[in-house]
Amino acid sequence: KAGVTQTPRYLIKTRGQQVTLSCSPISGHRSVSWYQQTPGQGLQFLFEYFSETQRNKGNFPGRFSGRQFSNSRSEMNVSTLELGDSALYLCASSWGLAADNEQFFGPGTRLTVL
Amino acid sequence: QQPVQSPQAVILREGEDAVINCSSSKALYSVHWYRQKHGEAPVFLMILLKGGEQKGHEKISASFNKKKQQSSLYLTASQLSYSGTYFCGTGDPRSNTGNQFYFGTGTSLTVIP
């Protein structure tokens, strides 16, 4: 079956702009989690959505938000971009909650903020 | 609250064994292990649940010491394909206030011929 897909794969934005990233999970998976990966901070948890509800949230400012649709597809939005938001954004889907199940990662969206 | 992994980096020759440790400052509900090759997304290796269940897909073993809040990943007879960065991860879905999924600090493993 098809894996997790993320669009776009690459993005270049300038400070102050906003961006929306999209994630399509594996068919049948109800949980989608988002992570930020940077060389300095490693893999940082942003949030987890399960059946359209935000289940868990990481320690990121309110500029980072997300949502999940009834078909389990998820979007992540970052408003008022800062240079420090440059990172690889990964989404991962799992059949149930991430803590109990293996997560399947998408290829990521590489965001560069100039 | 990010789990700490040790060692930070290790270089092995093919056929050698390695152990990667993951320590948490809080009680572990479950421990996950993932491997990420350069330029690729993390790939699931194994999950160890508090009840003792293990789920994994590769010939890699792991232990989970609930008392010590530690987990160790055992790589035996390493192959070149084992090279990558290994992450442990932990989360607890039972928290009513919401809980993060924490990935560890990572261990870079390089297998050389």
* Tens-digit pLDDT profile for residues B3-17: 999 999 999 999 999
The rounded distance, in Å, linking the Cα atoms of A30 and B68 is 33
Q: Which residues pair with A92 in a beta bridge?
A: A33, A105
Chain A residues lying within 8 Å of B55, measured CB to CB: 102
Mean pLDDT for all residues in chain A: 94
The whole-number pLDDT of residue B47 equals: 87
Residue B35 has pLDDT above 90, yes or no: yes
Task: List all residues 6 or more positions away from B85 whose beta carbon is below 8 Å from its beta carbon.
Answer: B35, B36, B37, B106, B107, B108, B109
Residue B100 has pLDDT above 90, yes or no: no
In eight-state DSSP terms, residue A85 is: G
Question: Do the chains contact at B32 and A103, CB–CB below 8 Å?
Answer: yes
Our CA-based measurement puts residue A38 at a distance from the nearest CA of chain B, in whole angstroms, of 12
- On whether the CB atoms of residues B75 and B109 are closer than 8 A, the answer is yes
The total of other beta-carbon atoms located within 10 Å of residue B110's CB is 14
Q: Does A5 touch chain B (CB under 8 A)?
A: no
Average pLDDT over residues A72-86: 97
The whole-number pLDDT of residue A1 equals: 67
Of residues B94, B91, B58, the one with CA closest to residue B76: B58
Residue B94 has pLDDT above 70, yes or no: no
The rounded distance, in Å, linking the Cα atoms of A67 and A54 is 7
Between B25 and A38, whose confidence is greater? Answer: A38
Our CA-based measurement puts residue A99 at a distance from the nearest CA of chain B, in whole angstroms, of 5
Between A1 and B71, whose confidence is greater? Answer: B71
What percentage of chain A carries pLDDT values higher than 70?
99
Average pLDDT over residues B95-103: 69
Residue B23 has pLDDT above 70, yes or no: yes
Token representation of residue A108: 């990521």
Q: Does A58 touch chain B (CB under 8 A)?
A: yes
pLDDT digits (tens, 9 = 90+) for B37-83: 999 999 999 888 776 666 665 668 888 887 778 899 999 889 999 99
The rounded distance, in Å, linking the Cα atoms of B95 and B39 is 34
The whole-number pLDDT of residue B59 equals: 67
